[in-house]
Chains A and B, each alone.
Chain A
């Protein structure tokens, strides 16, 4: 299947700093990437949908100025958590779909990034 790589896998930062998480599709062009947030023992909550070359579409309740998403190329999307606070600590995971998978709807997930804000 298609491979999606996410980096970093773990990051610890101080409150008030910004953190960037990268999501790359390694062997296909991802026209659409999705960013999820997962709290312990909970489900994946969609934060935003990003399409290459256009602004991301954010889900209700997600602050677009706090969670900056950029999808500058067909293989890379980034999520930047700005002015991070302890309540932003979570597991962030991206997924991608693209033309290679013929838009079947199947999602390919990155490894996830565990953010801890001190």
Chain B
């Protein structure tokens, strides 16, 4: 099955600096890569996603890059703010039995220091 690895597990940055989280996946059939932000005790929220036919996508301060050949994708947050502090999960998804099966990474706890 799919295996998604995520690094680092924790990340501390100064407010205004950039944060980068990296993930790798193992199954070349995965074709959809969402990123979720989860605050303590709350549900994961989709912040950005990318499909396998695109190499890069940007939404304001958040960008994601995908390298299909190397099977890795990354999340970039620029001009970080304290409210960006949360746990971020990457995921890899592929079609399986009529639905998309999603495998999550292990998570990165981001702390933005004011």
Query: What chain A residues lie within 8 Å of B98 (beta carbons)?
Result: 32, 51
From residue A72, how far is it (CB to closest CB) to chain B in Å?
Answer: 18
Asked if A106 is at the interface (CB within 8 A of a chain B CB), the reply is yes
Map CB proximity to B onto A17-60 as digits: 1 under 8 Å, 0 otherwise.
00000000000000110100000011111100101000001000
Q: Is B104 an interface residue (CB 8 A)?
A: yes
Q: Which residues of A contact B41 (CB under 8 A)?
A: 91, 112, 114
Could you tell me if B104 and A109 are in contact, using CB atoms closer than 8 angstroms? no
Complex CA–CA separation, A104 to B105 (angstroms)? 20
Contact digits for B90-107, partner A, Cβ 8 Å, 1 yes 0 no:
000100011111111111
**A residues in contact with B100, CB < 8 Å:** 97, 103-105
* Chain A CB within 8 A of B73 CB: no
Interface residue? A68 (CB, 8 A): no
- Given the interface pairs A43-B89, A105-B34, A110-B43, the reply to whether A49 lies near B49 with Cβ below 8 Å is no
Given contacts A43-B89, A43-B107, contact A51 B34 (CB under 8 A): no
Taking the complex as formed, is B44 at the interface, i.e. its CB lies under 8 A from any CB of chain A? yes
For the complex, count residues of A whose C-beta is within 8 A of B.
26
Q: How far is the CB of A24 from chain B (nearest CB, A)?
A: 14
Complex Cα gap A110–B101 (Å): 17
Question: Within 8 Å CB of A44, what residues of B?
Answer: 44, 89, 104
Q: Which residues of the other chain, B, contact A97 by a CB distance below 8 angstroms?
A: 99-100
Whether B46 sits at the interface, judged by CB under 8 Å, is: yes
State in angstroms the CA–CA spacing of A51 and B96 once bound together.
13
A107 with B104, Cβ < 8 A, contacts A31-B99, A44-B89 known: no
A-B contact pairs, 28 of them (CB 8 A): A1-B46, A31-B99, A34-B102, A41-B107, A41-B109, A42-B106, A43-B104, A43-B106, A44-B44, A44-B104, A46-B101, A46-B102, A49-B101, A51-B98, A51-B99, A91-B41, A93-B43, A97-B100, A103-B100, A104-B32, A105-B100, A106-B46, A107-B46, A109-B44, A109-B45, A110-B43, A112-B41, A112-B42
For the complex of A and B, the 4 pairs showing the least CB-CB separation, nearest first, are: A105-B100, A109-B43, A105-B32, A32-B99
**Chain B residues within CB distance 8 Å of chain A:** 32, 34, 41-46, 49, 89, 93, 97-107, 109
